Amino acid sequence: MRFIPLFSGSSGNSSLIEAGGVRLLVDAGLTGKAIADALKSISIDPDSISGILVTHDHVDHTKGIGVLSRKYNTPVYANAGTYAAMAPIVKEIDFANVRLFRTDEDFYIGELNVLPFKTPHDAAESVGFAFTEGSNKLCCMTDIGVFRESMFAAAAGSQLVFIEANHDVRMLKNGPYPYVLKQRILSESGHLSNENCGKALVRLHETGVRFAVLAHLSKENNTEEKAYRTVSTVLEEAGVTDMQLVVAKRDRITGIFEF
Ligand SMILES: [Zn+2]
Ligand SMILES: [Zn+2]
C-alpha cells in the first residue's frame, strides 16, 4: 500500500492511494491542473487514476473533480448526498463515470476494500474512508468535528491514520474569524482541534496505530509546529511514546508512505 498526500489544508485537499491493483485519489479540492501537475511531478500519469473518492461536497475537497473526470475519463465515487450537493461545483459527470456508494457499507475497487464511514461535519453526507488490502489498513478522516465511537472502529488497527489537526483552540478564539464562524469550527460538526486529535490518537494507539499524518491544518488558526507540539504533548501525557507523527503540507507533497 502506498499513500501520498498531495495537498492538505483548508485551501485544498487531495491524496493518492495505491493498493489492490488500483490507484485512487481521495478528494480533488484544487484545480484539475494543480492536481494533474502534482501527479506528474511524481511520474504518475493522471490517465492512470482508477477513481476519485469524495469525502464531502465542500469546495476544498471537490474543486477539481469535474475537470479531472472529464479530461481523463475518471470515475467519481461518492454517496448520494454528496453527489447532489457538489453538483454546482463539479458540473456534469459522464453517466458512465458516476459511481454511487452508501455510507457505512464497504465495497471493492480492484482488490482494495473501501469503507466509507459517517463523520460528523456540516456537509450534506460527510464520510471518512478506511482502506484495507490483506493485513494493510489505512484510514483517512479529515473534516471531523468530534471523534466518535463509529470512527474509532473504522480506524482501529490502521498502519497509517491520516487525521485532522485543524486548529489551535486559543489561536482560533483570539483570531480574526467572525464569532459565528468560530462557533461553527469549534462545534461537534466543525473541525477537530490539535488537542482532540491527540486524544483520538491516544485511543487509537491502544488498537495498534503507531503512525499518524496530521492533516487539514487551518491556515489562519494553526501552525505546523503548534499541531505537532500539541499532539505530541497529549500523547506524552497519556504515556504514549512510540507514535510517529508527520504534519501534512498544505501546498506540496508531504511524502510517500509505503507499508
Ligand atoms: Zn469540510
Ligand atoms: Zn475541508
Q: pLDDT tens digits for 12-54?
A: 999 999 999 999 999 999 999 999 999 999 999 999 999 999 9
Between the CA of 15 and the centroid of ligand 2 the distance, in Å, is 13
Question: pTM value?
Answer: 0.97
Give tens-digit pLDDT for 162-195. 999 999 999 999 999 999 999 999 999 999 999 9
| Phi, psi torsion values for 162, nearest 5 degrees | -100, 100
Give tens-digit pLDDT for 189-220. 999 999 999 999 999 999 999 999 999 999 99
Between the CA of 100 and the centroid of ligand 2 the distance, in Å, is 21
**In this structure, are strands 136-141 and 160-164 parallel, antiparallel, or unpaired?**
parallel
Between the CA of 239 and the centroid of ligand 2 the distance, in Å, is 31
Burial class (CB in 10 A: 0-12, 13-18, 19+), 178: exposed
Between the CA of 175 and the centroid of ligand 1 the distance, in Å, is 20
What are the residues whose beta carbon lies below 5 Å from ligand 1 (ion)? 58, 143
User: Which residues are CB-neighbours of 93 under 8 A, at least 6 positions away?
Assistant: 65, 66, 69, 70, 76
What are the residues whose beta carbon lies below 5 Å from ligand 2 (ion)? 60, 143
Q: Could you tell me if 185 and 168 are in contact, meaning their C-beta atoms sit under 8 angstroms apart?
A: no
Domains of the chain: 2-253 (3.60.15.10)
- CA neighbor of 29 nearest in space, from 49, 43, 15, 39: 15
